[in-house]
Amino acid sequence: MKKRTHTCGELQRTKAGSTVVLNGWVNRIRNLGGIIFFSLRDRYGVTQITVHPDTQSYALAASLRGEDVVCVRGEVIERPEEARNLEMTTGEIEVLAQEVELLSKATTPPIYTNKEEDVTEEMRLRYRYLDLRKPRMQKNLILRHQVAHAIRNFFDREGFLDIETPILNKSTPEGARDYLVPSRMKPGKVYALPQSPQILKQLLMIAGTDRYYQIAKCFRDEDLRADRQPEFTQIDYEMSFATEEDVMELTEAMLTQVFRAVKGVEISHPFPIISFEQAMNEYGTDKPDIRYDMKLQEVSEYFQKSSFAIAKDILHQGGVVKGFTLSENGTTYSRKTITELETFVRQYGAEGLMTMKYGNEGIQSSFQKYFSPESLHSLSARMNMSQGAMAFLIMGEKETVNTALGALRTHIAKREKITNNRPDAFLWVNRFPMFHYDEESKRYIAEHHPFTLPVMDEFNRWNHQDPLRIHAHAYDVVMNGWELGGGSVRIHDSETQKKVFTLLGLDETDQKEKFGFLLEAFLYGTPPHAGCALGLDRLVALMAGEEYIREVIAFPKTTTGTCLMTGAPSEVPEDQLRILGLEVLSNRRPSKEGVS
């Protein structure tokens, strides 16, 4: 193999007459009247190779197949005017081969690598190394590299230190979600893979590092949803003597720089800020997509004045009636479509779906008989309806109504392609509840994590009476309806941290055993500090226009946490388990009599 002089994506007319050496994969091959043309591909691009019958390597070239790996030495020549492809960087030239060397012979691949095809996700993940050869996937991996590079450049300029924290760590109280690693040297004891470097970055603030960041691998052993991975990457950063506003300002500056450096676009900032309560009331979700309006409107008073007995009964029980308006194409929705949407909202707990249409014949609705014409027009005005609009309304318990309408709002926006060609939109959601009550475990759970600083006047007032009234100094950054990540101002004194632990059900012994090192560290002079963590996978996916994060991860797992390519997780030999002091207990299935 001769030393490569150029890549397959860089040769242009200025190199005409030069002798070059290219390496790559055979992309496509054609034999036209004895002259062989094949395109040679690497991650940089594609170059056309021409082999004449009198070339020494002609016989070899004639035997080539797609995905063979070859080395080509030849002369760069200009293509004829009519054969030029100006959409390709190398489209004005070709390489007249003088020598072709076969480096690796390929069998027929199970999936195409030079074009997108209708292939199952299982096949793509089983042969991921082939899937990654596709131009789309190569482009995504390059984008991911560029984003990470821009992030590192930004934090370096801002005076942050890139500090690695351990992968082998201590399990947290929520240990059921940890991946555990048995210790051979300490039989019976385990490490936990980090769900986040949270405590360690707080300790770095106590250590005086002042500004820390890390592009960190994190792990979470939980039931995976459609777009979750058991291992993921987050952009993690923490600052001493910082406020919520400081973190927001820094995050916006970082994202602005990344989009400018990688995509050459300017994003609108400062980002709007809304509270959690406002987000739920107006959008039905704590991660709203603000590229379009369609805000939720409460119209309970109109139904209270109607003769709609069921609605009035729901309102009497403390429920609400809310809805939103689709301004265009609403009158095209058929009865069948509305029935499908009704089925959709039932998934979110809604009992049904009401509609109101503003067509050529005026306003028509599914609850029309309970309203006078004047009341119906008044309601349509409240819903900002005009010709061609459709309003969707749901009645019931407020939280359920918000959630169902929020999901429907997103579903319809996707159906109508409302966000197509609209610029990216960011916002902050803050003032989250500090706690929620888990009915299953009968205890309070931290909404974000136990190290978040509560609003102290609320905490001091409601700690023993009604913890659900306490808000947190927590904040999430949202892009196009997706949560990019979030952070908080942290607790930095032992007494407050102990009170939060106690409220979460950890007694003094548990606190000392699990977090004694942190509580002790707080005693030696802890600066106020705050930070944030953004999902790198999600950010890159959004920038790439991909719906799923697996499309920007080199070797992702399935939704069951399996690697179809390697077969992980897998069984291990008995002697390896014995060294670790482990024994695998087979899960027994219940018998037909229900006895296990």
pLDDT at 281: 98
Residue type (1 letter), 436: H
**Alpha-carbon gap, residue 371 to 303, rounded angstroms:** 8
Cα angle for residues 447, 448, 453 (degrees, 5° grid) = 100
pLDDT at position 285 is 98
Asked whether the predicted pLDDT for residue 589 surpasses 70, the reply is no
Instruction: Give the pLDDT confidence score for residue 114 in this predicted structure.
Output: 80
Lowest mean pLDDT among 35-44, 115-124, 484-493: 115-124
**Distant-in-sequence, close-in-space partners of 561: CB < 8 Å, separation ≥ 6:** 221, 224, 230, 569
Neighbours of 63 (CB within 10 A): 10
Average pLDDT, the chain: 94
Going by pLDDT thresholds of 50, 70 and 90, the confidence category of residue 592 is very low
Which helix (H) or strand (E) is 124 found in, with range?
A: helix 121-126
pLDDT band at 327; cut points 50, 70, 90: very high
pLDDT at position 593 over 60 = no
User: pLDDT per residue over 331-389, tens digit each?
Assistant: 899 999 999 999 999 999 999 999 999 998 899 999 999 999 999 999 999 999 999 99
Q: What distance in Å separates the CA atoms of residue 69 and residue 60, rounded to the nearest whole number?
A: 12
Q: Which one of 3.30.930.10, 3.40.50.10470, 3.90.550.10, 3.30.70.60 gives the CATH number of domain 138-274+427-552?
A: 3.30.930.10
Region 15-22 average pLDDT: 97
Tell me: pLDDT of 318 over 90. Answer: yes
Does the 13-104 domain belong in CATH 3.40.50.2300? no
DSSP 300-334: HHHHHTSS-HHHHHHHHTT-EEEEEEE-SSGGG--
Q: To 10 degrees, what angle do helices 198-206 and 508-521 make?
A: 40
Q: What is the mean pLDDT of residues 165-170?
A: 95
243-289 pLDDT tens trace: 999 999 999 999 999 999 999 999 999 999 999 999 999 999 999 99
pLDDT tens digit sequence for 402-437: 999 999 999 999 999 999 989 999 999 999 999 999
> What is residue 171's predicted lDDT score, i.e. its pLDDT?
86
* Domain coordinates in residue numbering, the chain: 13-104, 138-274+427-552, 292-422
501-505 average pLDDT score: 95
pLDDT digits (tens, 9 = 90+) for 460-477: 999 889 999 999 999 999
The one-letter code for the residue type at 255 is: L
The dihedral sign for the CA sequence 193, 195, 197, 203: negative
pLDDT value at 588 more than 50:
no
DSSP 524: G
Domain 292-422 coded CATH 3.30.1360.30: yes
Residues ≥6 apart with Cβ < 8 Å to 489:
242, 243, 244, 452, 453, 473, 474, 528, 529, 530
Any bridge partners for residue 322, and if so which? 298, 394
Confidence of residue 596 (pLDDT cuts 50, 70, 90): very low
Instruction: Give bridge partners of residue 78 from the DSSP assignment.
Output: 93
pLDDT of residue 176: 59
User: Which pLDDT belongs to residue 349?
Assistant: 97
